[in-house]
Amino acid sequence: MSSFTGLNIVIKGLYAQQRALDVTGHNIANVNTEGYSRQRAVMETARPMQVLGGKGMLGRGVDVQQIERIRNSFLDVKFWGENTVLGEWSSKSQLLGDIEMVFNEPSDAGLNTVIDRFFSALQDLSNGEKASDLTVRETVRQTAIAFTNSLNNMAAQFEKIQTDANFAIETKVKEINSYAQQISELNRQIMKYELDGSNANDLRDRRNLLVDKLSGIADVRTFEDSDGRFRLSIGGRLLVNHVSYNQLALVERDNIQVPVKNPDVDADGLYEVMWDDGMGFEPKGGELKGLLDIRDSIGSPGTYKGVPFYMERLNYFAAEFARAINDIHTAAYDLVDDGYEEPGGDKVYFFTNDITMDSYSDGPPRTQNPIVGQITAKNITISKEIFEDLNRIAVAASYNTVPGDASKGLEMAGLRHQNVFPTYGTPEDFTKSIIAALGVDRQEAIRMSDNQTILVNQTDTLRMSTSGVSIDEEMANMVKFQHSYNAAARLITAMDEMIDTLVNRMGLVGR
C-alpha cells in the first residue's frame, strides 16, 4: 500500500508542476497585454495521514490551492488619484494653449499690432495737411476694419474652442457611461466565476484596466466588500453599484429650466452634464473637470479662468474702446457739407454693432440714434456712414474749421496713451494684462501637467514592479518547474520498478 501511496504523491507533484508551468506560460503569453497582472500558482502541502502504530504523520504530496493574482491595491488607488489630477491639468494645458493661439502675442499679426496700426493711421490723419487726403482716410478705414475683423475673428475662435470643448465633454460622458456598463457586466461575470472560491483573475484585470482609464476622465472611488460586491463612484455619487449602474446625461441648456451660466459669452448648444435622474453632476477632477472649467468658468473667486473669462475681457475691451473713440468722433465734424452747422458735432459713430444702422436721424438738428445692445468683440464693426463714404470720418473740432482742422483726430490718436480703462490703463496695457494672466495660467497648467506626469509614471512603475511580467523571472520559473516535473516523472519510474519487483519477482525462489 505504501508504494501506491507514494505513487499518488508523485502524481500530485506532476499535476502541481504542470499547473505551475501552465501559469508561467500564461504570464509569458501576456507579457505585452495592457492591464495584465502576473499570476502565480500557490502550492501547499496536502493534508497528511496518520501512520498506523502512532509513528507520526505521513505527507501526501502537494496541492495547488489557488492561482494568485499579484496586485498591490494601495498602488492602484494611488495611481487613480494621480491620474485624475493629470487628466484635469492636461485638458487645461491643451485648451489654454488654444487660447494663446487666438491672442497670438507677441507677433506681427497680434491684436496689439493691429491697434498700433490703427492709432498710427489716426496720427497720420491728424496732420492738418492730410486731414482731407482720401488716401490717408482709406488707411484709417482699412486699419479700423482690420481691428474689428481681428476682434470678430478672436470671438469666433473663442466660440470654436467652447464648442470643441463641448464636443469633448460629450465624448467623455459617453465614455463614462460605456465604462460603467462594462464594469457592471464584469462584476456579474466575476461573481459568477468566483462562487466556487476560484479567482477570476483575468476578469479582474479587465475591470482594473477600465478603472484606470476612467480615473483619467473623472475622480473615482472604489470599494469591494467581503462578499466581492464592487462599487465605484465619481463626483461623490455611485456610478456602479455591483451589477447595476447609473448613467450621465447631456442636456442642452436651452432645454432645462436653469439660467445660462454666461449669457453674454456662451456659444449656442452647450450641454449641462447631469445624472440621468436629473441631479446635478460636478466632477472633482479628471479630464471632464478640466474641460468644464475651461468651457464655463468666468474666473470668479475660487474658480478657474476659462474661455468665458477671456471672452468677457475681450468684450469689455471692445465696448470701452468703441465708446472712447465714439465719444470723440460723434462730437467732431466730417468733410460732408450738408448746408448747416450741427451743434455738438456731426453725430457719426465710428464703431457700432450693426453696419446697417444709421448713426443719426436727419434734422435739423440731427438726433443721434442710440446703439441697440452692447458692442462686443463678436459684433463690433465700423459705422455704415464710414463704410460707405471716407468723407464721413470726422476729425475737425468745429464746423467752421473744416477741412484743415484735425484736432479731434489728434485727440482720438491720443487715446493710445490715455487711461481708457480705469483699472488697467491704456489699450495696450489692457491687452497686455489679459495676455499676462493667460501666460500665468498656461504656465501653471504646463507645470502641473508635467509634475503629474512624473508622479503618474513613478506610481505606474511601482505597480509594474509588483504586477508586471518579467520575462527573465518567468524563464527561470519555467526551468524550475520543468526540472521538478522531470524529477517527479523519474520518481514514477522508480515506483514502477518497485511495484514490478513486488508483483512479478517475489515468491519465485525454488521454482
Q: Is the pLDDT of residue 444 over 50?
A: yes
Q: Is the pLDDT of residue 48 over 70?
A: yes
Q: Which residue has the higher pLDDT, 216 or 363?
A: 216
pLDDT at 260: 65
Please provide the DSSP assignment of 59-115 as one string. Answer: ---EEEEEEEE---HHHHHHHHHHHHHHHHHHHHHHHHHHHHHHH--SSTTSHHHHH
Bridge-based pairing state of the strands 271-275 and 248-252: antiparallel
> Which residues make beta-bridge pairs with 68?
40
pLDDT at 197: 83
d(Cα 456, Cα 75) in Å, to the nearest integer? 11
- Residue percentage of the chain with pLDDT more than 90: 67
Give the pLDDT mean for 7-19. Answer: 90
Query: 310 φ, ψ to 5°?
Result: -70, -30
Q: Give the length of the chain.
A: 511
pLDDT in tens, 184-211: 999 999 999 988 888 999 999 999 999 9
Output Rg (C-alpha) for the chain, integer angstroms.
39
d(Cα 95, Cα 75) in Å, to the nearest integer? 30
Give the pLDDT mean for 454-461. Answer: 95
- Give the pLDDT band of residue 1 (cuts 50, 70, 90): very low
- Give the pLDDT band of residue 426 (cuts 50, 70, 90): very high
The answer to whether 348 and 330 are in contact (CB under 8 A) is yes
pLDDT at 409: 92
d(Cα 409, Cα 302) in Å, to the nearest integer? 44
The x, y and z cell numbers of residue 400, run together, are 467752421
Helix (H) or strand (E) run with residue 116 in it: helix 111-125
The chain-wide mean pLDDT, for the chain, equals 90
The answer to whether 506 and 25 are in contact (CB under 8 A) is no
Please provide the DSSP assignment of 324-335 as one string. Answer: HHHHHHTTSB-S
Name the least confident of 70-74, 167-171, 220-224, 492-496: 492-496
- Give the pLDDT band of residue 483 (cuts 50, 70, 90): very high
The answer to whether 449 and 456 are in contact (CB under 8 A) is no
15 burial type by CB count under 10 A (0-12 exposed, 13-18 middle, 19+ buried): middle
pLDDT in tens, 144-183: 999 999 999 999 999 999 999 999 999 999 999 999 999 9
pLDDT at 28: 95
pLDDT in tens, 300-311: 877 788 999 999
Q: Is the pLDDT of residue 511 over 60?
A: no
Query: 48 φ, ψ to 5°?
Result: -75, 165
d(Cα 403, Cα 479) in Å, to the nearest integer? 102
Give the pLDDT mean for 97-120. Answer: 89
Name the least confident of 34-48, 114-128, 493-507: 493-507
Q: Is the pLDDT of residue 373 over 60?
A: yes
pLDDT at 59: 82
pLDDT at 256: 65
Give the pLDDT mean for 228-252. Answer: 93
pLDDT at 510: 52
Give the residue from 135, 137, 141, 128 showing the smallest Cα distance to 402: 128
Q: Is the pLDDT of residue 332 over 70?
A: yes
Q: Which residue has the higher pLDDT, 3 or 438?
A: 438
Give the pLDDT mean for 316-320. Answer: 94
d(Cα 317, Cα 308) in Å, to the nearest integer? 14
> Which residues make beta-bridge pairs with 425?
421
Span between the terminal Cα atoms of the chain, in Å? 27
Give the pLDDT mean for 332-349. Answer: 83
Grid cell 493691429 — which residue? 114
Rounded-to-10 torsion of CA 128, 130, 134, 138: -100
Q: Which residue has the higher pLDDT, 105 or 240?
A: 240
The answer to whether 126 and 409 are in contact (CB under 8 A) is yes
Total Cβ atoms within 10 A of residue 1:
5
At a CB cut-off of 8 Å and minimum separation 6, what does 190 contact? 200, 203, 204, 207, 228, 230
- Give the pLDDT band of residue 493 (cuts 50, 70, 90): confident
Q: Is 196 in a helix, a strand, or coil? A: coil
Domain boundaries, the chain: 2-70+469-505
pLDDT at 498: 80
The x, y and z cell numbers of residue 450, run together, are 508635467
pLDDT at 302: 76
471 burial type by CB count under 10 A (0-12 exposed, 13-18 middle, 19+ buried): exposed
pLDDT at 267: 85
